[in-house]
A and B are shown apart, each in its own frame.
Chain A
Amino acid sequence: MAYLELKNIYKTYGEGKDATEVLSNINLSIEEGEFVAIVGFTGSGKTTLVNLINGLLEPTSGEVLFKGEPVKGTSHERGVIFQNYSLLPWLSVEQNVLMAVREAFPKREKAVWKRKAAHYIDMVGLTPAINKLPKELSGGMRQRVAVARALSMKPDMIIMDEPLGALDALTRGNLQDQILNIWGKDKRTALLITNDVDEGIYMADRIIPLRPGPNATLGPEFKIDIERPRDKTELNDNPIYKTTRNAIIEYLMGIGEGRKSEQQSTYILPDLAPKSFVRL
């Protein structure tokens, strides 16, 4: 039985005439310990899909099964890393993480909470900034706090919604490695939503493209049979990497082309010429 299973998911926003179907007929199953990436264009319904899985939204029809049980609301078993970090700006790094630890382990003592929080902050390398406020941190550091917060609840599955989307290329690479490192230690199930094909190939076992919405649905899956730990520089010469990358991009571009041709129409340009030009 799959660890996480989505069966015939449809999600519609609005009602009656104004109803727009964002997701249609989504089927997905993720095995325990697997790292799956979903790649898609911006605005294709990725965040909606994530919110269905983490329990912030309910599907209009279909079922989300986690460990065989239907998902009802959020749960500490599924940790979420939001696209925009969503740290609480009035709390320090430690307090942000402590808040999560306290909720996940309500019966422990304060000292235990503090130790756990410190452990996860150390894991993302932010111990020197433990008492700082989010506004005093860089974008990359903020996202690391968000990672520490999600991990500190010891979730069975970790869901990442474009976690590195707003970061610069170098910070991005660093954080990818850090996330992989942490994931490699206890092989938790992970779902990564991204718009970067390279990031997906570098990090995931399996990539599934999301055909853009409205009526977004999942495309064919691509397995990434590259051994871990993967090396970014070597990856460029890896034949599997090249073929997979090309196939995915071709697929996504194909959808993009299809999308373009749908919108194509002819425009009649006005017959204008600058004054100084001699009309031929």
Chain B
Amino acid sequence: MKQSVTVSKSEEAKWLEGIKVVLSKLQFKTPTFNLKKIIVPVISIVAFIGIWYLGAEALRQREINFRVEKALTDQGQAAANALQACFASNESTCQTNTLPSPTQVWASVITLVNDYYVVKQDKLDFKNKTAAVNAKRIAAGKAPIVYTGRASFVDIVIRSLKTVFAGFLLAFFIAVPIGIVIGLSPTLRNAINWFIQIFKPVSPVVWYLLVFMIVKTLLIGTSSDNSFLISFISVGLCAMWATLVNTAVGVSTVDKDYINVAKVLKLGQLQKIFKIILPSSLPLIFTGLRITLSVAWMVLIAIELLAQSPGLGTFVWEEFQNGSSESNSKIIVAMFVIGIIGFLLDRFMLTIQNMVSFNKSEGI
């Protein structure tokens, strides 16, 4: 009995050790208390919110003044006073349609969070309600009824993340192999270079349209929703160029010393590629992948918007279109969410990039 306890303890110690190693590789350092490092960002955040608040307030005032003045000239003093009072009461019917203030945005954050719980409950209710029916349907070999109601903000974000990862994987599986091949062969590089140079700067909107034309025709006659398919393919094609170019450059500019090693050891062609060329170009490939992921996240919004894929892009556009009193502040919430997720994705890729990279001087 006692023995087994010690064994499990040592197992635990091993786990802890492993976790420590992973943490150290992920560059999570134990935060040392550094007043400057904490205070300076806090001050800048407060200043940012302050400027935002003042700016929003000024814009709001400008709109109110304009509308009250207009009421005064069009409808007379009484109407103007009524409008002024209405704005002052801050009711939802009398909201300005301008840049929302930080407090309004925060209110929207809370609305969206509450909405998440409401939708969650809706889904649960739906599941309970349809449980019996679905069991029968499954028994009969039919597809179960699924929830198709309103999506919460979290669902929207998850949908966007799925699209971006699918696009990223597509970019990875297209760009890395092609990059390796054209990196290895100068002839192929020359053959394909014009293609890369022309298609690299094409805008996401045009990529979407191109993919739309092709996918729509390929899936002609099927009624399924292909917005996800179209949007992730467009994202992938739009974002893959950085990886393609970086891989090609990495593979074609392997250090001469490493090539000499390969020659002296008399490595075969395949061995040379897999043991020397690829490992030595990994850092550049991952730099490319990092750029690809951030480009993918950036173009996603525009492409989702066009493809009507129910992600952040569509969310932003629909809020803009529906023009409710909270629309503008929801758009700002989406903006921050997009920014923060983009930042986290970039950090994630940077960590991987640091794990695989090495300095050339390390071998010398």
Contact = CB atoms under 8 A, between A and B. Distances in A.
Interface of A: 54-56, 73-76, 79-80, 82, 84-91, 99-100, 103, 133-135, 142, 153, 166
Given A85-B363, A89-B362, A90-B279, A56 B260 contact: yes
Contact of A86 (B261, B271, B358, B359): B261
Contacts of A74: 263-264, 266
A80 B364 contact: no
Interface in B266-324: 266-267, 271, 275-276, 279-280, 282
B267 A90 contact: no
B265 interface: yes
Contacts of A56: 260, 263-264
A88 B258 contact: yes
Given A80-B264, A85-B364, A135 B275 contact: no
11 contacts: A54-B264, A56-B263, A74-B264, A79-B264, A86-B260, A86-B364, A89-B363, A99-B265, A99-B275, A135-B362, A166-B364
B257 A82 contact: yes
Given A84-B257, A90-B279, A103 B364 contact: no
Nearest to B275: A99
B360 interface: yes
Interface string B323-364: 000000000000000000000000000000000001110111
A85 B260 CA distance: 11
B276 A88 contact: yes
Nearest to B283: A90
A89 B358 contact: yes
Across the A-B interface, the 4 shortest Cβ-Cβ residue pairs: A135-B362, A89-B362, A89-B363, A89-B358
Nearest to A54: B264
Of B264, B271, B358, which is in contact with the most chain A CB atoms at under 10 Å from its CB? B264
A87 B363 CA distance: 5
B362 A133 contact: yes
A103 B265 contact: yes
Given A54-B264, A56-B263, A99-B265, A135 B359 contact: yes
Contacts of A166: 364
Nearest to A76: B266
B279 A84 contact: no
A133 B361 CA distance: 12
Contacts of B360: 89
B117 to A, nearest CB: 49
